Structure 1
Amino acid sequence: MSGELRAVLFDMDGTLVDTEGMWWQACVEVAAELDLELTEADAGHVLGRLVEDAAGYLARRAPVPPGVGRAGVAEAEAERADAERARVAKADAERAGVTEAEAERAEVERVGARLTAAFAERVSGGVTPLPGAIRLLDDLAAEGVPTALVSASPRLIVDMVLHTVGARRFALVVAAEDTARGKPLPDPYLRAASGLGLDPADCVAVEDSPTGLAAARAAGCRVVSVSGDPVAEDVLSVDSLEKVDLPLLRLLASGKRSIG
């Protein structure tokens, strides 16, 4: 651990660009196709997650029989609905000549493909960098501090966003396909630090979601949260990238959290 600011690793959705709402809308749209109504209680299971994780969550929550939304099923009936879903899935798998596990994987892949398509449709219309994002990236470049993009989104989405943010601003890009395990596990941040030839402890990660913050902390990075909510004693919390600058990042890299 050098105590110097060696690199800054940025999350993408909700941190650098205003796409988190687009992802939520995509999840709501696909959930509705499954006769499922998402609420705020579902947010933690889909925001900041890999597409396959969100798809698995939606597929598991999809109500049975078709046409009956889980939101309309009494809590006391939830277990019965889950059992019925499993029975129908098993029967469908037997008719198709595949195992139940194979049928479930196929359904998760189908839902994941729909999520990616719904998200891509929204992102293709253009994205908006969040306040302070471009200024901070350019300030880091001017000082020779390398940056990496560390996203849970698939490469298709990341490449679309980079058309707006500028791929040239990043020395390294880690997308969902680049690690076997995604956030909240540390793998994406470990991959980014390794790709830059650095120890994670010499990197500052900038995140917004609980999932991403958990990944960055588990990797051993210094961490800035731009969610505005207090997270933990070892995480510096601000409510906007406009409040993040080089002196602040250097102070954090040195092991200090207070900015005065």
Structure 2
Amino acid sequence: MSGELRAVLFDMDGTLVDTEGMWWQACAAVAAESGLELTEADVGHVLGRPVEYVAAHLVRRASSAAPDVSALPGGADAVERVGARLTDAFAERIAGGVTPLPGAIRLLDDLGAGGVPAALVSASPRRIVDMVLQTVGAERFTLVVAAEDTARGKPLPDPYLRAAAELGVDPGECVAVEDSPTGLAAARAAGCRVVSVAGGMAREGVLAVDGLEKVDLPLLRQLASGQRSIG
């Protein structure tokens, strides 16, 4: 489907704000509490994933290192406890403020001036999202979808489908802006047109650019109308 740009759906961490490094540090610190060290093999299980997924991943790794699950923090409630610890560790790191990525505020303000709704679609818990919005500005978003708002998170399409439904638009009339393979998969599965701001992540159905500075309202409208080819 092509036509008018009805909404732009933004990922948060690593897309609008420079927090992915903080999230990795938080995960590494919590992993170290169980004697684990994060490696390159953990990247796909950490970046762009909901807290519950990462917690389950760390618990599985710890369980394989120490099969006695009762020895893990929280015993049978290990995943829930590790998830809470991850959120606390992340919150501690962003409490001092976060840095919007270049072009983020300008693009959000241009969308507002152009009458195009912007939604935040994040895998982070609402507590974290609310902290980040103190810097980015909650008033810049028509809608916010956080991790708790869908039963299933990225890379499944549920968060993007939820955002489109609440905005009353078809996902095909939306452009999603993402930075991780997990998020790109979710947005594509939802039927959105997709921009990757990570650079070097071109793939079928995705327009890859080197940062939000390369994204503007005319480009997004071209994508929605089909005038600009992707992937």
CA distance in 2 between counterparts of 1:200 and 1:129 reads 26
TM-score, normalised to structure 2's length?
0.95
CA distance in 2 between counterparts of 1:8 and 1:47 reads 22
Aligned to 2:138: 167
Task: State, as a whole percentage, how many aligned pairs show the same letter.
Answer: 79
Aligned to 1:189: 160
1:57 equivalent in alignment to 2:57: yes
**8 Å Cα contact 1:190/1:219 also seen in 2:** yes
Q: Which of 172, 180, 183 in structure 2 is aligned with 1:209? A: 180
Question: What's the offset of the Cα at 1:156?
Answer: 0.3
Question: What's the offset of the Cα at 1:118?
Answer: 0.3
1:79-99 CA distances to partner (integer Å, 9 max, x unpaired)?
A: xxx3x733x22xx49xxxxxx
CA distance in 1 between counterparts of 2:128 and 2:159 reads 16
Question: What's the offset of the Cα at 1:2?
Answer: 4.8
**SS in structure 1 at match of 2:66:** helix
Q: Which of 225, 228, 244 in structure 1 is aligned with 2:215? A: 244
Q: Which of 58, 66, 76 in structure 2 is aligned with 1:85? A: 66
Structure 2 unmatched runs, 5+: none
1:39-73 CA distances to partner (integer Å, 9 max, x unpaired)?
A: 1221110110000100000111016xxxxxxxxxx
CA RMSD, aligned part only? 1.6
**8 Å Cα contact 1:184/1:212 also seen in 2:** yes
Question: What's the offset of the Cα at 1:217?
Answer: 0.3
Alignment of 1:128-147 (within 5 A): 128-147=99-118
CA distance in 2 between counterparts of 1:228 and 1:249 reads 17
Aligned to 1:123: 94
CA distance in 2 between counterparts of 1:145 and 1:244 reads 14
**8 Å Cα contact 2:2/2:226 also seen in 1:** no
Output the amino acid matched with 2:115: G
Runs of 4+, deviation exceeding 3 Å: 256-259
Aligned to 1:153: 124
CA distance in 2 between counterparts of 1:230 and 1:28 reads 25
**8 Å Cα contact 1:9/1:203 also seen in 2:** yes
Output the amino acid matched with 1:212: G
Aligned to 1:235: 206
1:216-248 CA distances to partner (integer Å, 9 max, x unpaired)?
A: 000000000001013312100001100000111
Output the amino acid matched with 2:92: E
CA distance in 2 between counterparts of 1:103 and 1:26 reads 21
**8 Å Cα contact 1:186/1:219 also seen in 2:** yes
After TM superposition, the structure 1 stretch with the greater mean CA deviation from structure 2, 138-147 or 231-240, is 231-240
**8 Å Cα contact 1:236/1:257 also seen in 2:** no
CA distance in 1 between counterparts of 2:227 and 2:113 reads 24
1:125-145 CA distances to partner (integer Å, 9 max, x unpaired)?
A: 100000000000000000100
Larger radius of gyration: 1
1:203-228 CA distances to partner (integer Å, 9 max, x unpaired)?
A: 00000000000000000000000010
Aligned length: 228
Question: What's the offset of the Cα at 1:254?
Answer: 1.3
